[in-house]
Structure 1
Amino acid sequence: MNIDKLVYEFMDVAREDPTMGPSHISLYLTIVFMYQQHDRKMPIEIKARQLMVAAKIKSAGTYYKYLQNLIEKRFISYQPSRSPVTGSLITINEKLD
């Protein structure tokens, strides 16, 4: 997966989409960074709290709102975890439509 291409494509879409703001960008780039930290293996197992802290998002409601926006726009796929021990699974989608 070409990280540079993903980020450029994402930023092109984000720049043109008036519904996307700094928190969307921060969250997406944090997910990409964590993908790199996890040896570029998909899906990434991440706990919400980890993502919130790294993306500088303080409210759980805000986090889930922006996460849902990224899912709806097909930047990522998300499989929630109901376990306090394991994290949710996130996959970065390569092709942006």
Structure 2
Amino acid sequence: MTYEDFLRRLEEEQTAPTELTAPLQALWYERKGDWKKAHELIDHLDDHIAAHVHAYLHRVEGDLGNAQYWYHRAQQPIFKGTTAEEWHNMVRLLLR
């Protein structure tokens, strides 16, 4: 799926496509306004990608201490831009 396809489908569909990975589904549901579902999708995963999405979700939530912990687990620097910029960057990266 391309980035443009992801954005188009995000506008048109309520449910994340099943072919997406759990981290991409989490980003989908967060963008749809369902932070809880997004968090549930990645909370139990133990890899660097899921940890990065987890960090982003806690940043969106406003829990910067928890976000910092997850950025460290993801071995990623704390994102300095807006959450919208981070979301777009992560979606692009994960769709490669």
Q: Structure 2-normalised TM-score?
A: 0.33
Q: Which fold has the larger relative contact order, with Cα–Cα distance below 8 Å and residues 6 or more apart in sequence? A: 1
Bigger helix share: 2
Q: Structure 1-normalised TM-score?
A: 0.33
Bigger strand share: 1
